[in-house]
Amino acid sequence: MKKMWFMPILLMILFVSGCASPVNNDDVTPPTVISTIPADLATDVAINRNITATFSEAMDSATVTAATFTLAQGVTPVSGAVSYDGFVATLDPTSELAINTEYTATLTMAITDLAGNALVADSTWSFTTGVNLAAGPSPVELGTAGTFVGLAKTGISTTGLTSIDGNIGVSPAAATYITGFGLTMDASNVFSTSPLVTEKVYAADYAPPTPVDMTTTIGDMEIAYTDAASRTLPDATELYDGDMSGRTIAPGLYKWGTGVLINGSVTLDGGANDVWIFQIAQDLTVGNGAIVTLSGGALPKNIFWQIAGQATLGTTSDFKGIILCKTLIEMNTGATLNGRALAQTAITLDTNTLTKPAL
């Protein structure tokens, strides 16, 4: 009986610990939909593509269902399977969509984040199909990272008269790690401008809401990299032993356990809705003067280069696509990129031209 005094205390400890909740009750910010595939008002959409939406934060997957994420042709519902993973909700229609037809996708306010915050309103967007099937995997969803032409975590530097069509930004690095651009701070302190950049320049130490926005954007870039790297069932592995020089590559998913080399030229042949994903376990090396040529209507926005090592674009090379790089993206003198340079370390430039891809 002398040992029984501690039992009430023990029971109280167990009761309190059992009542602890992992939910963040301080989160009262409603989630938002930051991007969709297809985009709102998109035309000539492939009739066999999934519909996806990327949220601004992690959502309660139990609320993302076929009842809360719907697709309709006019007032007629379109059946499909709904899934949620990594900030992205996906609706996979049961059958191919009708050609030359307008559809409307809807995400309802019943969808909530992990703290129980709902969308402030139903989110709807419309698109019109074309007549073609799309070849290759589903495109990689970039989220807010898709609004940047150059994005890095540790810095972006340039020498010479580089020309960038679009936004650039760094985070968690400060603006001092954006060098060679002659930055001028806007009166709002939210962004800066540069004579070398057509749009805006952002950094983690600028005024709110930029720090939070940039953290989200970097997170979206990392999610996109993981998505591209985790795709399974490649159409080919170790294709041409990693040397794509002089080859013509059809849409698809390609995987290498080594680095990849492009000398001379490589041609990506496919339609405007077709997708290429290249999973590269080591470096991508693009030789001096090498060209990535697109034929058949292929578009840079649908080409994804997932690179675990470094990406090096040689002098005067002409490159196309979205570079999702785990480390450094180095563009040597006169190299051009029609696409996006998204680096998890730094980007170094030297008299380059970077152009955002057409949507």
Q: What is the pLDDT of residues 54-106, one digit of tens each?
A: 888 889 999 999 999 999 999 999 999 999 987 889 999 999 999 999 999 99
Model confidence over 178-224: pLDDT tens digits?
Answer: 999 999 999 999 999 999 999 999 999 999 999 999 999 999 999 99
* pTM (two decimals): 0.83
The token pair at 116 is 């129980």
Same domain for 68 and 181?
A: no
The token pair at 152 is 């890095």
Q: Is residue 105 part of a domain?
A: yes
Same domain for 220 and 82?
A: no
Same domain for 227 and 95?
A: no
User: Band of the pLDDT at 24, cuts 50, 70, 90?
Assistant: low
Same domain for 85 and 231?
A: no
Same domain for 86 and 170?
A: no
Write out the H or E segment, with its range, that includes residue 219: helix 210-230
Per-chain mean pLDDT for the chain: 92
Among candidate residues 100, 129, 158, the one where a domain is terminated? 129
Q: Is residue 52 part of a domain?
A: yes
Model confidence over 249-283: pLDDT tens digits?
Answer: 999 999 999 999 999 999 999 999 999 999 999 99
Q: Is residue 51 part of a domain?
A: yes
pLDDT higher than 90, residue 227: yes
Which domain does 254 fall in, by range? 143-355
Same domain for 109 and 185?
A: no
Residues in the chain, total = 359
- 270 against 22, higher pLDDT: 270
User: Band of the pLDDT at 10, cuts 50, 70, 90?
Assistant: very low
Q: Is residue 1 part of a domain?
A: no
Amino acid identity at 72: A
Amino acid identity at 207: A
Share of the chain above pLDDT 90, in %: 87
Same domain for 263 and 329?
A: yes
What CATH number is associated with residue 98? 2.60.40.1220
Per-residue pLDDT, 17: 40
pLDDT higher than 80, residue 13: no
Same domain for 121 and 148?
A: no
Model confidence over 290-301: pLDDT tens digits?
Answer: 999 999 999 999
Q: Whose CA is closest to 343, among 355, 328, 321, 357? A: 328
Q: Is residue 272 part of a domain?
A: yes
Among candidate residues 86, 105, 129, the one where a domain is terminated? 129
* Mean pLDDT value across residues 134-141: 94
Spell out the residues 6+ positions from residue 219 whose beta carbon is closer than 8 angstroms to its own. none
Question: How many domains, in total, are found in the chain?
Answer: 2
Query: How far is it, in rounded angstroms, from Cα 103 to Cα 81?
Result: 17
* Mean pLDDT value across residues 344-357: 98
User: Band of the pLDDT at 25, cuts 50, 70, 90?
Assistant: low
Q: Whose CA is closest to 49, among 165, 130, 115, 124? A: 130
Q: Is residue 269 part of a domain?
A: yes
φ, ψ of residue 5 to 5 degrees: the values are -65, -25
Q: Is residue 166 part of a domain?
A: yes
